[in-house]
Copies of this chain bind each other. A is one copy, B any other.
Amino acid sequence: MGGGGGSEEKTEVENREWYMAAYAAEGVPTADHLKLRTAKLSLAKDSIPDGHVALELLFVSVDPYLRTRMSGSRDPAQFELGQVITAFGIGRVIRSKDGTYEEGDIVVHPNCPIAEYCVTSFLMLRKFDPNSGISLPDYISSMGVPGFAAWVGIEVLGDPKPGSNVFVSAASGAVGMYAGQLAKLRGCRVIGSTGSDDKVKLIREEFGYDDGFNYHKETDYDAALRRYFPNGIDVYLDNVGGRMLEAVLNHVNKHARIPLCGMISQYNKVWTEREGVRNLLNMVGKEVRMEGFMLASYSHRFGEFAEAMERYIREGKVKTKTKINLGIESFLESLASLFTSSNVGKVVVQVKP
């Protein structure tokens, strides 16, 4: 084993890491809120506790939910001020004090420090199989947070039947690209909303959507949904919240399901400034179920998901588009890019270019 790992003989590193300097109650987080600092980290074998490993981080997953941990709200998932922030990442074991892992192993860490190095318990990790045919960035995309989120939203909570009418917002985003493909694999009719004509083209041509619309052009969402869903909406995977969610509630069918994956249009506002949804009463007569979800609650189903997704990737049934930003220093701009409609697909930071 060993491979690249063995060549690293550092016993102490200058470790660059992102930390929460100040909460961002509203707006896109800036360099006032998230700062990069350098801290010494000992990688000497005797400074690593038993059952722990030292990792050199390779890729970090940049996902919208991170924003919700930076607002300083009463939500207990807030990052602590002055502390390193964490995300889903992938790294190489460079020291091991645990029998399960060897130097050189590639591992996935669902909550790793956004840093160049870290020392972590083996309990947090899952080994990456280099013979799986899955690429490293795929491992934090289709096989990571967005793929799993799309799977929980569509397969577990949305559970559409063949022929069901499925709507997905932020359809060209990381979750949206998988959600559309998973719904198509179930035989549904799938429509997406996204932020440009090019992206509408992309979701149709690459991600299997039957059709889609550009919400910057079709500003009357109600009219757009009436046109795209003459038979109503059975499942809506909500990634945006606000006005789009409200418009959907005017077109839901009986017993429609609305898994709430995230609400990217709402993250950067304090809650009293958010767009109120005025027609929740429609949920009564139509007996709609709306349900928020976090992936941690579905970890017992990760194996089932990973098996299905790996098969889809191998069979070419699920495609991925990834934007890889280079260098740990690119994390802040990568995060901000999620909120500006400038991305397509999954945003990943490659820690060392």
Determine if A241 is an interface residue (Cβ-Cβ < 8 Å).
yes
Asked whether, in the complex, the Cβ of A288 is within 8 Å of the Cβ of B292, the reply is yes
**Copies of the polypeptide in the assembly:** 2
Determine if A263 is an interface residue (Cβ-Cβ < 8 Å).
yes
| CB proximity to B under 8 Å, residues A256-285 | 260-263, 266-267, 271-285
With most chain B CB atoms within 10 A of its CB, the pick from A77, A288, A291 is: A291
- Chain B hits for A75, CB < 8 A: 282, 285-286
Q: A289-B291, A290-B289, A291-B290 are in contact. Are A283 and B260 (CB under 8 A)?
A: yes
With most chain B CB atoms within 10 A of its CB, the pick from A75, A261, A276 is: A276
Question: A267 — nearest CB in chain B belongs to which residue?
Answer: B281
Name the one of B250, B271, B290 contacting A281, with C-beta atoms under 8 angstroms.
B271
Bound-state CA distance A281–B290 (Å) is 12
Interface size class of A (residues with CB under 8 A): 35 or more
Question: A293 — nearest CB in chain B belongs to which residue?
Answer: B287
Task: List the interface of chain A (C-beta within 8 A of B).
Answer: 65, 68, 75, 77, 241, 245-246, 250, 255, 260-263, 266-267, 271-294, 297
A-B contact list, 19 entries, CB within 8 Å: A68-B284, A75-B285, A241-B280, A245-B280, A250-B271, A255-B297, A260-B284, A274-B278, A274-B279, A276-B277, A276-B278, A280-B290, A284-B292, A286-B292, A287-B292, A289-B290, A289-B292, A290-B290, A290-B291
Query: Which 8 pairs show the lowest CB-CB distances between chains A and B?
Result: A276-B276, A283-B292, A284-B292, A274-B278, A276-B278, A289-B291, A271-B279, A263-B281
